Each structure stands twice: as structure tokens, then as C-alpha cells.
Amino acid sequence: MNKNESALTGRRLAIIAYTGTAAFAPLRLLRRRYRHCLVLVQVPPYWIAVDSVIGRISYAVLDLQGVGEYLIALHGLGYRCQLARTRPVTVRRWRLMPLTCVEVVKRTLGMDDLGVWTPYQLFQRIKRTN
């Protein structure tokens, strides 16, 4: 698949980062190392980082050097990373879902999976489908 085909089909490289730290107390009930997630998506020549935390969604646009430094910083903070590819956007039935970090990552990747609610379930689903 060349660069133009990738842009047309919506298949982009993505990195999902998982961590066990949780500022919101109820998240501490989730599996260790999988209490929060964020996503970085490649939009050549840049990467876009999308991180949903309570009350806001933050975005960062990074060049290749910046994404390397960002990933090194995440590793230093104990994040675990996973490679994935986005899926083409398809029109699905309308759903009302809580806007969690997992839902933001799923929508960024083009996933339409009602059975994925936690970062660990997301990790397992991507592991099986990649």
C-alpha cells in the first residue's frame, strides 16, 4: 500500500500507550498497568497525540523527533506501548457511550466494539486483531 492509498483508505499507523497511574480514585479498581490509555496517530510527516483525561481532551502535534522524545518520556513514566492501524471510517448506528479514554482511542482507531470498556480489554482486542 503506497502513501496515497493509505490516505484514501484511512489506514494509518497508531501507537496506543497504557499506564497504571490513575488520578481518579475509581480507576484504581482496574487492572494494574491498564488504568488509562492514550493514542498517537501518524499523519505524515507528523504524529498527533490524543489524550483524554477527566474534563478535557488534549492534543499535541509532533514531528518525528518530537514523537521519539514523547515515547521516551512515556516509557520513563511507566507506559506500555502497542502498535495498531486505524480502520476506515464507516457509518454505524448511533450510540450513546461515556466519553472515556478507551472510547476516545476506539473512535480514533475507527473501532466499533461495544464489548471494549477498559484499557485492558482494548489492549487484548488490538492484540487479537493486529
26-49 confidence digits (pLDDT tens):
666 666 788 899 999 999 999 999
Helix ranges restricted to H, the chain: 3-9, 64-76, 101-109, 119-129
Q: What is the pLDDT of residue 5?
A: 46
Q: Would the pTM of this model clear 0.75, i.e. be above it? A: yes
C-alpha 126/C-alpha 61 separation (Å) is 24
54 pLDDT higher than 50: yes
Q: What is the pLDDT of residue 130?
A: 73
Dihedral sign of CA atoms 56, 119, 74, 40 in order: negative
Buried b / exposed e along 54-90 (16+ C-beta atoms within 10 A): eeeeeeeebeeeebeebbeebeeeebbebebbbeeee
| Omega cis (within 30) before 45 | yes
